[in-house]
Amino acid sequence: MIWLALGIVYSGGYALAGWMLQDQPTILSWFRAVALLIPPLTGAFVIARKRQTWSGCQLLFWSTIALGLAMSAIGLTGWAADDLVFGHETWLAWPAVFALFGNVAPLFALLAQPHRGPREPLAATTAVDIAGLAVVTGFLYTFFVTAPASVPGSVGSASPLLIVSELQQGLVLAAMIAATFAARRSPWRDTYRRLALGALVGFVTLTLSNFGAAQGTYHSAFVYDFTWILPFSFYPWAATFAPASDAIDPSTAEQDDLDRPRPWVIFTAVALLPFLDFGLRRLAPDEAFQGFRDMSTAITIISVLPLLVARIAAERVELQQAGSTMRLLALVIEQTQDLILVLTPDGRCRHANAAFCRATGFSSEELMNNRSRDLMANEAIAAHEIRSKVNAGGTWRGMVMRTRRDGTTFPVAATVAGLVDSRGIATHVVSVERDISEERRLREQLIHSERLSAVGQLVAGVAHELNNPLQGVIGFTELLIGAETRPEVRSDLQHVRADGERAATIVRHLLAFARRSALERSVADLNEIARSTLALRTYELRTGNITVQERYEDELPLVTVNREEIQQVVLNLILNAEQSIKSTDMPGTISLRTGQAEGSAFLEISDDGPGVPAALANRIFEPFFTTKSVGEGTGLGLSVSFGIAEAHGGSLSLAPTGRGAVFTLKLPLTAAMEMNRSDADVFAARPA
């Protein structure tokens, strides 16, 4: 309120000084010329100091007001000069054009709508619209300034200009009140309210001045001069406390802030110019100023046409920028690895990016004929949940199963949100998804590894607890056998010793699974290990009507392994394949193939037996798990082989196949790959 108080004090001081200098007209005129300049220039100065706090349309708003204040200062200076030279005390002369410009500037400034945010991309086109309005308004002012002092319907001297000034100030007041109401939930509400109060004070004081001018009682250095003092105090008050651009709450801005404004202002102004010229000449004919009016019309048209061209150019630049932004966004959407699907509210596909098409196997045209439920695998409940969440204006996050064109499915992590219009109605639904098939596989593999690790720790403890009693049983059984002479008792003791040794073997296998091997390792040839191990079962395979196919890579690099352990792994895999084929009571085939890939040598052993059920594939490497009948296996063969492979820094895995089972043993290549094959044979013959 300090600015308002200063305005009242300044007005009082001005009135007192005018009363004291009424007997000295020359000094009074100079005093008025200086004193009337201070109020508008103060407002312009405050706005100039705060210009760094605004940007975009908000800066344009205050710049337009500051320009209006400067025009008012020019008008008041011209009025003072006119008073000094010609003794015209009334403001109704040529300086009125500038004064009227200053009064109408806030109305033009409202085109920037600063309460909706800075909106920098719109500042240029809005500035052109304001300039076009200013040119047309100046054209109107020239007609009323040159109008005769008395026309039909006149109230008094210079009535057309009085009527225009009254209507204009009333329009500014109404616009400020409307802006205050429109920005009632915005930080700009108080700014508009202060400007509306200033417009109200200006309307009242201008009405008093115009009434005095119409009655012929108006004279300067009187209460009428408050019209040019008191209203101007509201501008620095409003500018001082106006919110900065970065203080605008984005939630208060409407969603269409960056929509291009319709160029109705400048085009309407250009279209109305001929009609205004014709109507005003009919309304206020004056032959004395006919040439001046012709020149005014020509200047106005010449001034508006460049503005029209500038507006079209600005529109084109905005369209190019918008088109460039749209192309960039489209490029980002198409090249992103995330799966993006746009749907209509009824579930029809509107757009799918390239990643979504690749993942599902559908083309864009095929997706346009599908509904969202056609792309989900038995997810009726999830689809209903997503639809209800999105229609309520929320965002749904979760996992859904997508269906490919070939009928297979894959999981995706999806984020689904609705695109709503200004009425809050969802017009489209956007789903941003990410294929998590690999993540789920890795998570299951991690869980499986953690389970094996836990089982290994448990097995190690149990094996140690069992090993000591077993050694005692076997030792005492040996002593009893040596001292026993009865054949039937010796036979029973030998059975006890055999079962104890079998149990001790199982314990050793458990310990081999649970801990890394510390046995000596040497450079070996995986081809030679596979051949020699297969030779151990050649007779059994031939008598079991099982065919063996061997494909060994000739230049397979060497590996650093414990020969006996790797031979045990190969033997276990051959035995599993042999027993799998024999379970079918049909002839079969076992294939051995070696090769290298990704820095490892591999041995692949496959069979055409019944294979491993998919539901059991993740459990076959667990200790004591077996698919064989009771009494036919301990369930430790694959688990021990898995531990040996990992102890060597390699892996043992079961590959999915349509028939039979395919096990792949991978071992890292040795650093001494330049060693020749004869050297490898020497190392292979060395005892471990």
The CATH number of domain 440-514, selected from 1.10.287.130, 3.10.20.30, 1.10.600.10, 1.10.3720.10: 1.10.287.130
Amino acid at position 17, single letter: A
List all residues 6 or more positions away from 581 whose beta carbon is below 8 Å from its beta carbon: 544, 546, 587, 588, 589, 590, 607, 608, 609
Query: Angle at Cα 126 formed by Cα 120 and Cα 127, nearest 5°?
Result: 95
319's enclosing H/E stretch is: helix 290-335
Q: Cβ distance 151 to 333 under 8 Å?
A: no
- Burial (CB < 10 A; 0-12, 13-18, 19+), residue 27, is exposed
- Whether the predicted pLDDT of 33 surpasses 80: no
pLDDT at 468: 79
The percent of residues in the chain predicted with pLDDT above 70, rounded, is 69
pLDDT at 192: 92
413's enclosing H/E stretch is: strand 409-420
- CA-CA distance, 218 to 210, in Å (whole number)? 8
For the chain, first and last CA: distance in Å? 99
Please compute the mean of the pLDDT values over residues 303-315 and round it to a whole number. Answer: 60
pLDDT at 97: 73
More confident residue, 446 or 671: 446
Please compute the mean of the pLDDT values over residues 266-280 and round it to a whole number. Answer: 61
pLDDT at 322: 65
List all residues 6 or more positions away from 94 whose beta carbon is below 8 Å from its beta carbon: 78, 82, 145
The percent of residues in the chain predicted with pLDDT above 90, rounded, is 8
Q: Across 153-162, 283-292, 574-583, which has the greatest mean pLDDT?
A: 574-583
Query: Angle at Cα 247 formed by Cα 245 and Cα 250, nearest 5°?
Result: 90
The CATH number of domain 522-685, selected from 3.10.20.30, 3.90.1200.10, 3.30.1360.120, 3.30.565.10: 3.30.565.10
pLDDT at 178: 92
Please compute the mean of the pLDDT values over residues 250-263 and round it to a whole number. Answer: 46
629 φ/ψ sector (left φ>0, alpha ψ -120 to 50, else beta): beta
pLDDT band of 452, cuts 50, 70, 90: low
- Whether the predicted pLDDT of 257 surpasses 70: no
| DSSP code, position 348 | B
pLDDT at 399: 82
pLDDT band of 665, cuts 50, 70, 90: very high
- Whether the predicted pLDDT of 333 surpasses 50: yes
Please compute the mean of the pLDDT values over residues 358-363 and round it to a whole number. Answer: 85
- CA-CA distance, 582 to 590, in Å (whole number)? 12
> 172-191 pLDDT, tens per residue?
899 999 999 988 888 899 99
Mean pLDDT of the chain: 75
| DSSP code, position 369 | T
> 372-397 pLDDT, tens per residue?
767 776 655 566 677 777 776 678 88
Please compute the mean of the pLDDT values over residues 329-345 and round it to a whole number. Answer: 82
Q: Which CATH architecture has domain 336-435?
A: 2-Layer Sandwich (3.30)
pLDDT band of 255, cuts 50, 70, 90: very low
pTM (two decimals): 0.48
| DSSP code, position 381 | H
- Whether the predicted pLDDT of 68 surpasses 80: yes
Q: Across 349-353, 548-552, 654-658, 678-682, which has the greatest mean pLDDT?
A: 548-552
pLDDT at 479: 85
Please compute the mean of the pLDDT values over residues 102-121 and round it to a whole number. Answer: 85
Q: How far is CA 110 from the centre of its chain?
A: 33
> 460-478 pLDDT, tens per residue?
777 777 877 888 888 888 8
> 622-637 pLDDT, tens per residue?
766 666 554 455 566 7
Neighbours of 656 (CB within 10 A): 10
- Whether the predicted pLDDT of 620 surpasses 80: no
Query: DSSP characters for 228-267?
Result: GTGGGGHHHHHHHTPPPGGGS-GGGS-TTTTSPPPTHHHH
- CA-CA distance, 609 to 593, in Å (whole number)? 17
pLDDT band of 248, cuts 50, 70, 90: very low
